[in-house]
Structure 1
């Protein structure tokens, strides 16, 4: 289930946003939850990182939407943020708070769906994926956030974490497919690195956690592009 906050003092506009969410999920209330706040101050009061996505009106009494967004980013750097506004000139002001964009009210459903699709993709990346690893007769569940890098040794794939390594039968291609939704990139034919754990790239070496790994010449360009995209997100 995705948890969405709608922060808007206008009842009609808030209802339109909530209705668009419902339409996006085909009215299946098991897939989403919408919580509405009538002003930014009540939204921020006692804030806990309980929301995946926030639709934030710019023009509100009290603290305006941009002020709320700046305070929100001090409290929560992960939540996906989108602005709603009746004044298009405010639209370009959301980038310093890492907003995914804006919707000019009254927005049409197509524009909303595009923003929602982008928000879902970001939420999925930030939540990570859960890996199901079968070792002997036991199945272990591992969060992708905990995996620093993955290497292939013969017919075994080794998932390295800060707490140790997990070996399973398989191929690096299979591991790459499982980890495709999140931030992993190849540093060589034999190794995938989690960009969350990268500390440095020095010449042909990448430092992941406390481990230095070789970077092959053929993979360096794509690896650096992946790192640049990761830090721009």
Structure 2
């Protein structure tokens, strides 16, 4: 079941998007549910956990789409957000809320289809992508997309996720092989970072959306920055 929400204050545009999404999801033979909201306030009062993909207008009334997305990210890190806008001036702010996809008005069906299918692919991949670490007497199942960064000190590894951290005995080399997604980068001999949660790259640190800082070694800086820019470019396109 794919759960899509449309938050758009223009009724005509809202109905047009609903028709487009309905057609797209019908054609791929998947179960789905579409919810509609006319304001950020109305959306935030609903059950955000029931949304997989959110089509969110930026230029709305009292609370705009960008501020709505910031409030969503305080409680939900998994939702795929596609911004709807008449301007492309908000790209940099979109990085802050892990929203890399934009639909420009007037909305075209094929452009919407490209973004929706990409989001579905990401959702399915994340559902099936996890690592299992056996650490006697415990066994941990950790979803890869929830890992922000990993730190190793001697034989002790700390895995920091969006909700908690795990302290295990494991090697960084082995976990690099376990994490098959292309969004993880070794930024330091003792650190691995998930580019999805990186807001900014500086010469010696990766600044995460949460404000946490992960060190980048001097000789890895150029490569990390290139991978970060490539990651952003591939996500937006």
Place the TM-score, normalised by the shorter chain, in its bin.
0.5 to 0.7
2:16 equivalent in structure 1: 13
Structure 1 segments unaligned to the other structure (5+ residues): 85-89
1:46 aligned onto 2:45: yes
Distance across 2 between alignment mates of 1:132 and 1:21: 35
Match of 1:72 among 64, 68, 71: 68
2:217 equivalent in structure 1: 215
**Counterpart contact for 1:147–1:160, Cα < 8 Å:** no
List aligned pairs for 1:1-233, cutoff 5 A. 1-8=1-8, 9-10=11-12, 12-23=15-26, 26-29=28-31, 32-37=32-37, 39-40=38-39, 43-44=42-43, 46-50=45-49, 51-56=51-56, 63=60, 68-77=64-73, 79=79, 80-83=81-84, 90-92=86-88, 94-95=90-91, 98=94, 100-102=101-103, 104-105=105-106, 107-108=108-109, 110-120=110-120, 129-135=129-135, 139-144=139-144, 145-146=146-147, 148-149=149-150, 159-161=157-159, 165-168=167-170, 172=173, 175-181=175-181, 183-188=183-188, 192-194=192-194, 196=197, 215=217, 217=219, 219-226=220-227
Which of structures 1 and 2 has the bigger CA Rg? Answer: 1
Cα offsets for 1:133-158 (capped at 9, x unmatched): 134575321344456325598xx8x6
| SS of 2:149 mapped into structure 1 | strand
| SS of 1:27 mapped into structure 2 | coil
RMSD: 4.9
TM-score normalised by structure 2 residue count: 0.59
TM-fit CA distance, 1:96 = 6.5
Distance across 2 between alignment mates of 1:141 and 1:175: 13
TM-score normalised by structure 1 residue count: 0.60
Structure 2 segments unaligned to the other structure (5+ residues): none
